[in-house]
Structure 1
Amino acid sequence: MSVILILIITSIVVATVFLGAFFWAVKSGQYDDTYSPSVRMLFDEKKKSKGNE
């Protein structure tokens, strides 16, 4: 029975840490730019070759 209690407490602690990391990421602006990743694939990147500099 004590092993189940330890596992439950450990899982709650791990879940709380991940939830805190998620809120920190949202607060620091990690998920602000939602437009440019979807449009980035539409633009061609010009690659420089050694002969065309």
Structure 2
Amino acid sequence: MSMLYIMVPVTLALAITALIAYIWAVRNGQFDDPESQAYRMLFEDEPVRRNPPDHDSSPDETP
């Protein structure tokens, strides 16, 4: 019975800590969109398009 005097406050402290952590996570947007980041790796990035050179590199020109 004397063990309950220790276990009940410890359990309440852990429950309150978990509740505070959950409220903090909700307020900071941790649960806003949990699915899109998991699927992001499945999509390929657009290939980088390289512009052609602006100058004409014909052999007639001399530097």
Give the TM-score range, shorter chain.
0.5 to 0.7
Amino acid paired to 1:39: Y
Q: Percent identity?
A: 40
- Paired residue total: 45
TM-score, normalised on structure 1? Answer: 0.64
Q: 4+ residue stretches of structure 1 with deviation over 4 A?
A: none
Contiguous gaps of at least 5 residues in structure 1: 46-53
State how far apart, in whole Å, the 2-side matches of 1:35 and 1:8 are.
37
More helix by share: 1
Root mean square deviation of aligned Cα: 1.8
Amino acid paired to 2:21: A
Work out which of the two has the higher radius of gyration on C-alpha atoms and give 1 or 2.
2
TM-score, normalised on structure 2? Answer: 0.56
Kindly indicate whether structure 1 or structure 2 has the higher relative contact order, using CA contacts under 8 Å at least 6 residues apart. Answer: 1
